[in-house]
A and B are shown apart, each in its own frame.
Chain A
Amino acid sequence: MDNKDKIISIRDLKVEFQIKQSFLHELFAKKQKIVKAVDGISLDIHQGEIVSLVGESGSGKTTLGKAILNLAPVTAGEVQFKGKVVKHTDKKELKLFRQKAQMIFQDPYQSLDPKSMIIDTVAEPLEVNNLLKTAAERKEKTVKALEDSGLAPAENFLYRYPYELSGGQRQRVAIAGSIILNPDFIVADEPVSMLDVSVRTGILKLLLELKNTRNLAFLFITHDLSLSWLISDRIAIMYLGKIVEIGPADAIIKDCRHPYTRALLSIMPIPEVHRNRNRQVLQGEIPDPTEIPRGCRFNTRCEYALDKCFSEEPQFTAITENHNVACHLAAKEQ
C-alpha cells in the first residue's frame, strides 16, 4: 500500500455537535450535551483505492464523509489532501480542494434539481468554478461526463428533466456531475441503497470502472457489508463514531475479529434457503451518542464483554499488516 500515493489522510478527526437545550437548562446543567458523531478517526485513502465505511445508522459514517469534504464542522484533527493539510479557513484553497474532492449523495430523487435540465445540473460545477470559455465546451464536457457515466448517447439525455429518468439513470447523472471536474477523490454516500436490486450492480460496476480508468479514490459509505465486499479494496467498520475494525475486504468477510463485525456478517441476507443459520441479531440500537459508554463503546451490546471492556478503551491491535481491530478479546486470542 505504501508505494501508492496517499490522496486523503485523516488524522484524529473529531466532529462534535452541541445540542441546544432550553435557556434555564443550560444555565443550571452541570455539563452540556455534546454529540460525538466522529470521535477520533485516522484513515488513509490511496490513489485508485476504494475504502468502504460500514456501520448502522447513527454510527457517524455520513458525518465522517462530509467532514472530510468540510461539509460538516470539524472540531479537532486534520484532513490532508495529497500530503498537504486542507486549511478550512482559507476560502480559496478550500475551493480548489473541493474541485478535486466530490460527493455522490444517497437519494437521486432528491439530489437533482427537478427544475433544471440534465445539462444544466451536470455542467453547474464548471460554471461555479469559472472553468468554461465557450458554450460548445460546456456541451462537449457534459457529453463526455454523461457518456463516461454510462448514459450514451448523451444527446438523448442533455435536454431532459430528472422526472423523465429512472432511479438508476438519475444516479448516473449525479455521478456525471461529480466527475466533470476530474476529481481525485469521491465520497459516495450510499449511492445504491435507494435503487432496485437489478440496477444496483450497474452503478457498482460504473464506480469500479471509474476507479480503474481514472485512478480515482473512493470512500464508499454503506450499511450493506456484501456490497462493500464486492467493490472495495479495504473495509472499515464503524461503530458510534469510531472505526472498530479495518482491513482488506476479503479479510473482513472471511476472517473478521471484532464481535460487532461478526454480528453484522451473521445477519447479512444471502440468496439461499437457510432456516437454521446461526444469526447473531444484536438487541436494541446504537446507544445515545451524547453518552458514549465507558471503556469499549460496544460493551452494551457485546455478549463477550469482560470487566476490562467496561473500564478501558481498546486500542488498535494488528492482526496482519493491514488488518487492525480495536477489541480486548481479539488481542487476547493471539
Chain B
Amino acid sequence: MELLQIKNLKTYFEISAGTVKAVDDVSLTLNYGESLGLVGESGCGKTTTALSINNLLPAEGRIVSGEILLEGKNLVEMNDREIKKIRWNDVSMIFQGAMNALNPVMKIGDQIAETIVLHQKCTFKEALKKTEELFSLVELEPKRISNYPHEFSGGMKQRAMIAMALACNPKLVIGDEPTTALDVMVQAQILNLLYKLRQELNMGLILITHDLSILGETCDKIAVMYAGKIVESGDVEDIFNRNRHPYTHKLLSSFPNIHRERIMPEAIEGIPPDLISPPEGCRFHPRCPYCEEICRVEAPAMVRENEGHFYACHQGGVHNGQ
C-alpha cells in the first residue's frame, strides 16, 4: 500500500475578491522511504497542497473535494480530534523560515520536548532525553538543548527544526522550502542530512521548493506545479532528461549550469496567472511559446508517457523537437 495518496484534491480560498483556486485537481502518490519534489514558481499552490495534507489551512481555506489517503485512511474526512492525532505523529512539517519558527524566549530543547509531550504519552523528563537523542541524530551537540534560538546559527536552527519534525517518528515529513533562507554550504549540509535520515528512518519526504536544481540529488520523483495544477510528474530522470511539458523545460533552463557553456539562462516571460480567474484552456498558454489554437480553448488532459511519467500538454515534447 502506498504511504500517501492524494486523489483529485481541490483546495479553495474564499476571499472578498472571489474564490482563489489555489489547488485545483491535484493527484499524487508517495511510497515509504520515497522522496518527492514539488516544484513551481511562487503562487502555484505548492504550500497549499502541503498544508491541506495535515489540515493546517488558514480560516479562509477549505478542501472542496478530493481524498488524501495516508495508509488508506482519508484525512479529509477526519474531525479536529482525529487529525490532531495524525499531525506530527504521522505527518510532520519543516517550515521555511527556521529563524521565525522557533520561540525566541524558550530553550530549544524545551520547545521540542513540549511537542513530544503533547503528542506522545511521556513525561517531560523522558521527552528531554529523547530530544538529546534527536539532537545527535541531526548532528547537533546534545548538550545544546538548553540553548536559546539566538545562540544558534541559521543552519543550526534549521537542524533543530528537523529534529522537531522527527520528534514523534513520523511516516511522512514535508519540507516547505527548508533550505531557501540558507547559505549554499549549509544548504548542502541540510540536504545531505535529509537524504541520510530518509534512508535510515524509511520515511516519506515531500520537498517543496522553487529551486529545481537542488532536487536532482535529493529526490526520487518530481511533480511540477503550475497555477494550481500538476503539469508534469515523473521520476528525476524523466523530468530532467526527457521532460515533455514546456513549463518544466523552461524552469530547468532558467538555471545556469557551471559545467556547460557560460550563457545567460532564459527567463520565463510573464508571471503566473491570477488564480481567481485562471486562463481558459491550458493555464500556461499565455506564457507558452508553442501555444496553438487548441491550447486556448481546451484544457489538456494528463497523458501517460510511461510508467510513472505523466504530462498535461497538447504539444507534449514540442520543445525537444518531438
- Where the two chains meet, the residues of A that have a C-beta atom closer than 8 Å to any C-beta of B are 56-57, 166-167, 196-202, 204-205, 208, 223-227, 229-231, 249-250, 253, 263-265, 267-275, 277, 279, 281-283, 285
Contact = CB atoms under 8 A, between A and B. Distances in A.
Contacts of A231: 264
A82 to B, nearest CB: 30
B213 interface: yes
Contact of A268 (B42, B258, B264, B267): B258
B211 A197 contact: yes
B303 interface: no
A270 B255 contact: yes
Nearest to B153: A285
Given A264-B184, A273-B236, A277-B217, A201 B258 contact: no
B185 A56 contact: yes
The 6 closest A-B pairs by CB, nearest first: A269-B213, A267-B188, A201-B267, A198-B268, A271-B255, A226-B256
A229 B260 CA distance: 12
A277 B189 CA distance: 15
A273 B241 CA distance: 8
A281 B185 contact: yes
Nearest to B235: A273
Given A271-B212, A285-B185, 19 more contacts: A56-B183, A56-B186, A57-B154, A196-B42, A198-B268, A205-B264, A226-B255, A229-B258, A230-B262, A269-B213, A269-B217, A269-B255, A270-B213, A271-B255, A271-B257, A273-B240, A274-B217, A281-B192, A285-B153
A230 B153 contact: no
A229 B262 contact: yes
A201 B266 contact: yes
B254 interface: yes
Nearest to B189: A281
Given A269-B214, A273-B240, A273-B241, A226 B183 contact: no
B114 to A, nearest CB: 27
Nearest to A199: B267
Interface string B231-269: 000001100110000000011111111110010111110
A273 B216 contact: yes
A281 B217 contact: no
Contacts of B184: 56, 223-225, 264, 267-268
Contacts of A200: 254, 267
The interface centre, meaning the residue of B185, B188, B189, B262 with most chain A CB atoms within 10 A of its CB, is B185
B210 A272 contact: no
A224 B267 CA distance: 18
B155 interface: yes
A221 to B, nearest CB: 13
Given A197-B251, A197-B254, A275 B185 contact: no
Contacts of A272: 216, 240, 257, 259
A249 B212 CA distance: 24
The interface centre, meaning the residue of B154, B250, B258 with most chain A CB atoms within 10 A of its CB, is B258
A225 B258 contact: yes
B17 interface: no
A225 B183 CA distance: 11
B266 A285 contact: no
Interface in B150-202: 153-155, 183-189, 192
Given A56-B183, A200-B254, A273 B262 contact: no
B192 A270 contact: no
The interface centre, meaning the residue of A198, A267, A283 with most chain B CB atoms within 10 A of its CB, is A198
Nearest to B190: A281
Contacts of A281: 185, 188-189, 192
Contact of A196 (B41, B155, B236, B240): B41
21 contacts: A56-B186, A167-B42, A197-B254, A197-B255, A198-B250, A198-B251, A198-B268, A224-B184, A227-B256, A230-B256, A230-B264, A253-B258, A268-B184, A269-B211, A269-B214, A270-B213, A271-B255, A271-B257, A273-B241, A274-B216, A285-B185
